[in-house]
Amino acid sequence: MSHNKSIILEFWDFLKIRKKWWLLPIIIMLILVGVLIVFGQSSAISPFIYALI
């Protein structure tokens, strides 16, 4: 049995335990458009200033 949860379940736990409910609208929007987003790779696009990435 895997101890690592799926990203959705983990996010749900994260919101419940950390009580950061204000993240919910962003996460919902990300899920809605997420299937359409053409993914990028960190090494290709990430700027050298890493505090933002």
Instruction: Enumerate binding residues for other proteins (CB under 8 A).
Output: 2-5, 7, 10-11, 13-14, 17-18, 20, 22-23, 25-30, 33-34, 36-53
| Cβ pair 29, 22 in contact under 8 A | no
Min separation Cβ 18 and other proteins, Å: 6
Handedness of CA 42, 52, 10, 22 (dihedral sign): negative
In angstroms, what is the minimal distance from the CB of 16 to other proteins? 11
Task: Output the smallest distance, CB 9 to other proteins, in A.
Answer: 11
User: How many CB atoms within 10 Å of residue 22?
Assistant: 8
